[in-house]
Structure 1
Amino acid sequence: MSDNLDANYAGVYNNRIGFGKKPALVLIDFVEAYFDPECDLYADVEDELASAIRLVEIARAKGIPVIYTNVVYNKTGFNGGRFFQKAKPLRHMVEGSPLGAWAKGLAPAENELVVSKQYPSAFFGTSLSSTLTAAGIDSVILTGLTTSGCVRASCVDACSYGFIPIVVADACGDRHEAPHNANLFDMNAKYADVVSEQEVSEYMNSL
């Protein structure tokens, strides 16, 4: 077995699907909890938010659907199940919490969909798959927080539901670069095409 990761995967897990014909841009859980230094969910992800906002501007100009997700629980956390039980910082996501508000600079337009969820994937327990299918969407451009958590879960489910997952590395963030990079690598190997902001911007502008 090769000690070099890229060499180990070369020729095995380096295929690319390519972009679809009708994408949607998905912004996963860009909420205040990740931007407030006093919150235990805080991560240094200002640059990733800025990248996502730039993509929103292109999507709006090109008529590409923009979809936002957030995590919202009953005040008791009863509808959070084992996820809420395991991940204690999710207490910040109960309904009415200011830490569940959209990050500064991010404001869904009236015609843009917000999908509220209780679990990591944007697809699990929501109508997102049906909504995308009905709209003829064949691919999802994924941005958001965190790479190793809700982004990865949404990526795997997007693949499982038959959508082409495109993960924008510059617009996804995590608490630490190790899980961030490891999950980008693994998603690119098995489920998605991981691309740069520039690459996906050029694609969106070409539509």
Structure 2
Amino acid sequence: MSDVAKNYAKAYNRTVGFGDRPALILVDFAHAYYDPECPLYGGEGCATALQAALTLRRAAKDAGIPVILTTVTYQLGGLDGGRFFEKAAPLEAFLPGRKTAEFAEGLVPEDDELVIAKQYPSAFFGTSLASTLTAMGCDSVLLTGLTTSGCVRASCVDAMSHGFRTTVVREACGDRHPDPHEANLFDMNAKYADVVSLDETLDWLTRKAA
């Protein structure tokens, strides 16, 4: 083990575990990440993340855990997108009427699921998510979504900052390239959340449903 690895192992070695009253959050599973013609296309990493998230969604419902989906939406011209829309040209995929702004195939919000519309990376910034989770009595979140290095990471930091015990489900997060995906999972696990496997999360949900 290198000196750097030893330092990380010594400095960042805590786990906080799952909370008692979690919510499952599916961040930005939009068609944009599955359309090869779109600049946001995420390839296999995003495809496998969606399948894992859908599996978690079924398990969460069986366990009576609330499910929350986020969607990115802008007014015409990106009027409400601020500096984020100004900087990131591919966000035009989320303008009104674009097919790429719709939920990914296979992910249709159900009547008992909350949909949070956002304009910035974090699911918490400028939205009612934190107050809604508090009103629901949730003390923790299970995070999934796209992309790991972008909106998932931003949502992770804000979830922790709002006082929610945060679990990031590794296989249910996706990115365009494995390097930023792995680097951000590493960093989130070190400082902000527990990064756990899909199998471990499913086992925990199964026990909770029993």
TM-score of the superposed pair, with normalisation by structure 1: 0.97
Other structure's SS at 2:76 match: coil
d(CA) in 2 for partners of 1:16, 1:196? 14
Q: Aligned AA for 1:179?
A: P
| Whole-angstrom distance in 2 between the partners of 1:123 and 1:40 | 25
**Partner residue of 1:6?**
5
Structure-2 change in CA distance of 1:169 and 1:141 (3 Å): same
2:143 is equivalent to residue 142 of structure 1: yes
Q: 1:196 — aligned with what?
A: 197
- Distance in 1, Cα, partners of 2:193 & 2:199: 17
Which residue matches 1:109?
110
Deviation at 1:5, TM superposition (A): 4.6
| CA shift for structure 1 position 14 | 1.5
Q: Flag structure 2 segments of 5+ consecutive residues without an equivalent.
A: none
How many Å separate the matches in 1 of 2:171 and 2:3? 24
Query: Equivalents in 2 of 1:57, 1:191: separation in Å?
Result: 26
1:6 deviates by: 3.0
CA RMSD of aligned residues (A): 1.1
* 1:140-192, Cα deviation, whole Å (9 max, x unpaired): 00000000000000000000000011000100001111111000000000000
Alignment match, 1:32: 31
1:80-106 CA distance string (max 9 Å, x none): 000000110001111221101111111
SS at match of 1:76: helix
Distance 1:28 1:4 in 2: 35
- SS of alignment partner, residue 11 of structure 1: helix
* 3-state secondary structure, aligned to 1:79: coil
- Superimposed CA distance per residue, residues 9-59 of structure 1 (whole angstroms, 9 cap, x where no aligned partner): 011112100110010000000010000011110012211110000000111
Shift of 1:206: 1.3
For 1:65-84, what aligned pairs fall within 5 Å after superposition?
65-84=66-85
**SS of the residue aligned with 2:125?**
coil
Q: Residues 93 and 204 from structure 1, CA distance in 2 versus in 1: closer, same or farther, beyond 3 angstroms?
A: same
Structure 1: how far apart are the matches of 2:69 and 2:36? 23
The residue type paired with residue 68 of structure 2 is I
Hey, what's the Cα distance between the residues in 2 that align with 1:197 and 1:182? 18
TM-fit CA distance, 1:8:
2.8
Structure 1 stretches lacking a partner, 5+ long: none
Residue number in structure 1 paired with 2:175: 174
| 1:64-118 deviation line (CA, Å, top 9, x unaligned) | 1000001100011010000000110001111221101111111111110000000
Give the alignment's TM-score, normalised by structure 2.
0.96
Aligned partner of residue 77 in structure 2, secondary structure: coil
Structure 1 or 2: more helix by fraction? 2
Structure 1 equivalent of residue 49 of structure 2: 48
How far, CA to CA, are the matches of 1:110 and 1:98 in structure 2?
Answer: 22
State how 1:114-133 maps to structure 2 within 5 Å: 114-133=115-134
* AA aligned opposite 1:195: V
